[in-house]
């Protein structure tokens, strides 16, 4: 209120929040005695080097040339759409006050009277515009090849020109190797980052104290995947017994199916797998194992407990 803001609010005017356990969040010690900074490298650094090399460093010159060529293309398109016209022997309107010819603009329906030797010439910049557009396409292709993002990864490839999904996969193979190298360079740093997150939660008493658990990031597909083909492979592999249900669910998860947890999805599938439960019962004859497979509680034996008389005590 008044002349105070979030930076000049006096402490006497402030009201501090209270945590669920009754702790007032005023000058609270976070129990953090380190600076939480994790450097994520761009690539696997050479010996004696720390930062690595950005993928943009290889194509900076190409990006500058692309920007300059695009500017030149815009200028050329302006002169192509509104060409410069040179009139010779034309009777132009004159300003009566100054006696000077008035400026003439090209517009639809304009008529100029020319003498017998008069002519009108226009400056044709369309060839230069076509050349600039061709250079833009060339620069984009070179940038895609040099950066290994590929024309397909940048969206420059016409889908109608791809004969099959296998050809598209081959076109995206340089991008796959680039993404694999970048993830390999960052794998240790991501594990360190997740470990630091756990330490911060333990320091803030959000998580119980103890040893930090190993954690890693799991990436989804970065290129288009044939989900129908992956689903057919999983169904065929699991039903024929060459793939486990857990592996099949992870394959579906990697293909982009909305599966939050592979373990929970396996449990859900087994709870409805009555044919598998019947085969398990035929193979083992153990009803307890079948109920555990289906996620059901242990069966009630159905025999009520028999009350026993108390044991006689020694006199």
Q: What size, in residues, is the chain?
A: 315
Q: What is the pLDDT of residue 69?
A: 93
Whether the pLDDT of residue 14 is over 90: the answer is: no
Q: What is the pLDDT of residue 165?
A: 75
Mean pLDDT across 223-241: 85
Task: State what percent of residues in the chain have pLDDT above 90.
Answer: 11
- pLDDT tier for residue 305 given thresholds of 50, 70 and 90: low
Q: What is the pLDDT of residue 140?
A: 92
Whether the pLDDT of residue 64 is over 90: the answer is: yes
Mean pLDDT across 232-252: 90
Is 108 in a helix, a strand, or coil? coil
Neighbours of 152 (CB within 10 A): 23
Q: What is the pLDDT of residue 54?
A: 84
How do residues 146-187 score in pLDDT, each as one tens digit? Answer: 888 888 888 888 877 888 777 888 888 888 888 888 888 888
List C-alpha distances in Å: 187 to 48, 57, 191, 251.
20, 22, 6, 21
> First CA to last CA across the chain, in angstroms?
86
Q: What is the mean pLDDT of the chain?
A: 82
Task: State what percent of residues in the chain have pLDDT above 70.
Answer: 96
How do residues 96-153 score in pLDDT, each as one tens digit? Answer: 888 887 777 777 777 777 777 888 788 788 888 899 999 999 999 999 988 888 888 8
138-147, 202-211, 277-286, range with greatest mean pLDDT: 138-147
Whether the pLDDT of residue 226 is over 80: the answer is: no
Q: How many helices (H) and strands (E) does the chain have?
A: 10, 2
Whether the pLDDT of residue 91 is over 60: the answer is: yes
List C-alpha distances in Å: 257 to 210, 230, 253.
35, 10, 5
DSSP codes of every residue in 138-177: HHHHHHHHHHT-HHHHTT-S-GGG---HHHHHHHTHHHHH
List C-alpha distances in Å: 256 to 36, 47, 233, 238, 266.
33, 38, 15, 19, 17
Tokens coding 100: 């000077």
Whether the pLDDT of residue 7 is over 90: the answer is: no
Whether the pLDDT of residue 315 is over 60: the answer is: no
Whether the pLDDT of residue 1 is over 60: the answer is: no
Q: What is the pLDDT of residue 134?
A: 92
Tokens coding 116: 């017998």
CA–CA gap between residue 125 and residue 81 (Å, rounded): 9
């Amino acid at each position: 209120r008044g002349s105070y803001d979030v930076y000049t609010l006096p402490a006497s005017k402030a009201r501090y929040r209270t945590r669920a356990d009754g702790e007032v969040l005023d000058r609270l010690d976070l129990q953090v005695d380190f600076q939480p900074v994790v450097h994520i490298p761009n690539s696997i650094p050479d010996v004696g080097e720390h930062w690595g090399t950005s993928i943009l460093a290889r194509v900076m010159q190409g990006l500058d040339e692309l920007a300059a060529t695009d500017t030149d293309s815009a200028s050329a398109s302006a002169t192509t759409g509104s060409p410069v016209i040179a009139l010779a022997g034309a009777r132009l309107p004159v300003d009566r006050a100054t006696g000077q010819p008035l400026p003439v603009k090209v517009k639809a329906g304009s008529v100029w009277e020319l003498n017998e030797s008069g002519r009108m010439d226009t400056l044709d910049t369309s060839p230069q515009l076509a050349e600039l557009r061709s250079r833009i396409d060339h620069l984009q292709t070179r940038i895609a090849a040099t950066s290994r993002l590929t024309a397909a990864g940048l969206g420059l490839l016409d889908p109608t020109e791809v004969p099959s999904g296998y050809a598209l996969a081959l076109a995206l193979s340089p991008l796959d190797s680039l993404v694999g190298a970048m993830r390999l360079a960052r794998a240790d740093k991501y594990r360190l980052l997740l470990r630091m997150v756990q330490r911060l939660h333990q320091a803030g008493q959000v998580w119980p104290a103890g040893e930090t658990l190993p954690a890693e990031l799991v990436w989804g597909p970065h290129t288009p995947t044939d989900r129908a083909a992956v689903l057919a492979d999983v169904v065929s592999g699991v039903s024929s017994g060459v793939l486990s249900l857990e592996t099949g669910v992870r394959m579906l998860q990697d293909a982009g199916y909305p599966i939050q947890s592979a373990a929970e999805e396996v449990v859900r599938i087994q709870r409805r797998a009555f044919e598998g439960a019947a085969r398990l019962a035929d193979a083992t004859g153990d009803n307890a194992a079948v109920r555990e497979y289906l996620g059901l509680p242990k069966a009630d034996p159905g025999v009520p407990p028999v009350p026993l008389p108390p044991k006689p005590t020694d006199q």
